[in-house]
Amino acid sequence: MSRERLHSRRSWASRRASGAISQRPVWDWHPVLFIEPSLVFAKDEYLHALDNAIANGAAYVAISDYAVEIAPLTTRSGTDGRQIPILLFGHHLGGLVTMATLHHTRDFADVISVRVAAIFDEADLGGATAQADAARVGRATPHPLIRHEGRWLWAEGSNLTRRFAGSDGVVYEASALSLLDVASIAAATKARSVRFDVAVREPSPTARHEVVIEVEGRGRDSRTINRRITIESNGFHTMASGRVLAFALERVLGLDGRSATPAGLWFPENVLDAAHVVSLACEHGIAINGQNAPM
């Protein structure tokens, strides 16, 4: 089956990139004009969309690349792609999981471990293209990327799965997945252990998606904190992803009243404000809560 490639283009006023954004990209950028940004929803194995974005000086936003397959994009960002913003948003829910983690750990002095688990309804596993992509990555990298006690590892043996409790108290068996949230959360929080797991439950009468984030760390008073962060939304996970991606595109394109994102290699935590994204998500019906476990 041929893979779908969907490019969403929207004309926008040409803007000269400025240094208004406080964070720096992975490499230094130079001011340049960008037009007609390309948003790639499905895996583009040939990078045709990136070729087109580079040729036209357009921003490029990829939301379907796993952590283990971004090398072709990152290397292009330092060569012929140096003059455009390349945004890697292959994170769960358009980066909302990473944003919620950063927002709800801002009072931590030290983050030790972050364990993320997403619960999908059986009917919420995507169409043929999404399932083919997941199967492809599973065959190519049967050992997902995790961070364990400071080491980057390919999970195997007992590290491939874990058990956790959903908000309904049901205990799920979850399997590790190589999403970019693992690398982003580790980089932003300096946590020594980070992993992302996926569990599947039987279809419910009302479609619902849930993410459970378990964080261990220390507060500014040096006391241990065990915090459980939950993200819950009605409908399939793509609905929440679409909402958050819309917020991200406003920021990337400068449609939020600030300067457009300049050239560089970017991740959600580099260009989005965690508190702002979490607030917008809650306003649009996504429930995000953080609660400490009793001591």
Identify the segments of the chain with pLDDT beneath 70: 1-43, 125-134, 136-138, 140, 295
48: its two tokens: 């045709």
pLDDT of residue 57: 87
Q: By CB neighbour count within 10 A (0-12 exposed, 13-18 middle, 19+ buried), where does 120 fall? A: middle
Q: What radius of gyration do the chain's Cα atoms show?
A: 19
| Domains present along the chain, CATH in parentheses | 7-92+242-274 (no CATH), 95-236+276-292 (3.30.360.10)
Spatial separation of the C-alpha atoms in residues 160 and 24, rounded to whole Å: 34
- For residue 99, the SS3 value is helix
Bridge partners of 151?
A: 148
Q: Are strands 60-62 and 224-234 parallel, antiparallel or unpaired?
A: unpaired
pLDDT of residue 102: 98
pLDDT of residue 32: 36
22: its two tokens: 């406080």
pLDDT of residue 205: 79
pLDDT of residue 3: 33
248: its two tokens: 């991200």
Closest by CA to 166, choosing from 124, 205, 123, 117, is 117
